[in-house]
């Protein structure tokens, strides 16, 4: 696997090359850890509903302290909504 910083730069460049405005990218974040558990609620001991992987992009719906409620679309088209730890999400714009 390529170095994480290289991949982060590539993903940011891809979005930048599509000429999105800052406001369009503002609600989106990228997963910055190898695996990120998506949970039903913003509590660590609640049921895991899915796993996100490094480089995946999610839309932020709400933030509560250390948790972020996100939405994303799986490859089969299913939209998943759930809570993840905020510290493992990176802004697409820098």
Extract long-range pairs of 56-59: CB within 8 Å, 24+ residues apart: 56/30, 56/31, 57/11, 57/28, 57/29, 57/30, 57/31, 57/92, 58/28, 58/29, 58/30, 58/31, 58/84, 58/89, 59/27, 59/28
Whose tokens are 């994480």? That residue is 4
- DSSP conformation class of 88: G
* DSSP designation for 87: G
Weakly modelled stretches of the chain, pLDDT under 50: 1
What is the per-residue pLDDT for 18?
A: 64
This prediction has a pTM of 0.78
Domain holding 18, by residue range, is: 4-91
pLDDT at 8: 67
DSSP secondary structure code for residue 7 in this structure: H
Q: pLDDT at position 7, please?
A: 67
Looking up residue 15, the CATH number of its domain turns out to be 2.30.30.40
The mean pLDDT of the chain is: 86
Per-residue pLDDT at 17 = 62
Structural domains in the chain (count): 1
pLDDT per position as a tens digit, 54-78: 989 999 999 999 999 999 999 899 9
């Amino acid at each position: 696997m390529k170095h994480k910083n290289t991949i982060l730069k590539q993903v940011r460049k891809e979005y930048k090359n599509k000429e999105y405005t800052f406001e369009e990218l503002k609600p989106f974040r990228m997963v910055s850890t190898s695996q990120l558990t998506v949970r039903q609620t913003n509590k660590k001991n609640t049921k895991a509903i899915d796993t996100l992987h490094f480089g995946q992009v999610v839309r932020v719906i709400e933030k509560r302290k250390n948790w972020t409620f996100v939405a994303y679309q799986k490859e089969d088209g299913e939209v998943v909504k759930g809570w993840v730890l905020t510290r493992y999400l990176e802004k697409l714009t820098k």
